[in-house]
Amino acid sequence: MEMKRYIIPLICYTLIFLILLNINELSDFFAQIISNTPVLNIEPGNEYTKDYDFLYVQNSDDFIPYSYNDLLNIIFSAVNRRWEQFTFYCPKEYDNCLKDITKITNDEYTLTHINNFIHPFNCFDTLMASITENGEITLNIKYLYNENDIKAVNEYVDIIMNDLYDEEKSTYDNLKNIHDYIINNTKYDIERNDTGTSPYKSQIAYGPAIQGYATCNGYADLMAIILSRLGIANFKVASTKDEISYESNGHVWNALKYDNKWVHLDLTWDDPVGSDGRNYLYHKYFLVTTEEMATADHGNVNVEEHNFNKAIYKEFFDN
């Protein structure tokens, strides 16, 4: 009896201690039961997470969707933070939620456009959604850049910043020096463009930074990484074959906020290969407005690769 008198209080104290130790988890659990709303696991982003919004997609801390745009923002926010897996739930009030998330995650072009607003190191390679009838949606995301790619490209950007960036010069002059340096030290990867395969990682920033070969994706990624390092708001712009009347897979280039307005920068089209096989350096697509880019496109040959979707890349019309 004497031992029992001590054991019972000891058990009680132990239970109280365990409850206090796990008070946050318990409160979340009971809140979930009462509200019938599952508690989401929200992790912080990494150092490449953009902390500013765009007109097409915005960062979200509320992961309960009530519209198509909410779903776009949730996907953007998850990828922008480089989450590898994230589960959220469709509320009963959103009748088309499962239909809309299925449409978005099966649409290559929509996912490509979302990716363009994210820092290249956080861009996804594949994004899959597991969807259940009770409204549970799990995003499974694999990313384009591995740790070795990121380390190598960052070391290259360190060199660029040390050798080319001069604090006493204007932003225009610094960007022009970087623009010219990349073009003068990079060749367009014709093999990847023609066949879809290449010995070079020319489709990402590693190609132009380390191997000296790039496609438009590689050029745009490298410039986006440098712009972000400089603290300049930026995104990539993509035209797809839907916007082009002739045979083309589309094109990618950079947009940046310069002098309080959004302008275009296209390394690929400033690095043409002439009919004589020589590489040339131009500035026709360097910090140009949409109107100036259209003028540059209407030469002897009418270029359509810059026919971007104005409903997605709205910044150019909000200057």
Counting every residue written for the chain, the total comes to 319
CB neighbours of 126 closer than 8 A, spacing ≥ 6? 141, 142
Residue environment code for 207-217, b if the CB has 16+ CB neighbours within 10 A, otherwise e: bbbebebbbbb
Q: Is 165 left (phi over 0), alpha (psi -120 to 50) or beta?
A: beta
When pLDDT is averaged across residues 70-80 and rounded to a whole number, the result is 98
DSSP string of 51-77, one letter each residue: -S--SS----S-----SHHHHHHHHHH
Q: What is the pLDDT of residue 143?
A: 98
9: pLDDT strictly greater than 60:
no
When pLDDT is averaged across residues 116-136 and rounded to a whole number, the result is 96
Q: What is the pLDDT of residue 115?
A: 98
The CB density around residue 119, as the number of other CB atoms within 10 Å, is 23
Structure confidence by residue, pLDDT tens digits, 201-233: 999 999 999 999 999 999 999 999 999 999 999
274: pLDDT strictly greater than 70:
no
Task: Provide the residue type at 41 as one letter.
Answer: N
Q: What is the pLDDT of residue 249?
A: 83
Structure confidence by residue, pLDDT tens digits, 154-173: 999 999 999 999 999 999 99
CA distance linking residue 15 with residue 10, whole number of Å: 9
Q: What is the pLDDT of residue 278?
A: 66
Sign of CA dihedral 7, 10, 14, 16: positive
Structure confidence by residue, pLDDT tens digits, 284-318: 999 999 999 999 999 777 889 999 999 999 999 98
When pLDDT is averaged across residues 244-259 and rounded to a whole number, the result is 92
Q: What is the pLDDT of residue 282?
A: 92
CA angle 111, 116, 122 (to 5 degrees): 90
CA distance linking residue 21 with residue 13, whole number of Å: 12
CA distance linking residue 236 with residue 105, whole number of Å: 20
Three state DSSP letters for 152-201: HHHHHHHHHHHHCCCCCCCHHHHHHHHHHHHHHCCEECHHHHHHCCCCCC
Q: What is the pLDDT of residue 25?
A: 47
CB 235 within 8 A of CB 255: yes
Paired with 279 in beta bridges are 273
Tokens of 287: 């910090």
Q: What is the pLDDT of residue 32?
A: 44
- The band of 241, judged by pLDDT with boundaries at 50, 70 and 90, is confident
The CB density around residue 75, as the number of other CB atoms within 10 Å, is 26
- The band of 26, judged by pLDDT with boundaries at 50, 70 and 90, is very low
Q: What is the pLDDT of residue 29?
A: 41
Q: What is the pLDDT of residue 302?
A: 85
Range of weakest confidence among 81-90, 128-137, 190-199, 241-250:
241-250
Q: What is the pLDDT of residue 101?
A: 98
Q: What is the pLDDT of residue 13?
A: 54
269: pLDDT strictly greater than 60:
yes
Q: pLDDT over 70 for what percent of the chain?
A: 85
Q: What is the pLDDT of residue 280?
A: 76
Paired with 87 in beta bridges are 138
Which residue in the block uniquely carries the two structure tokens 């997605």? 312
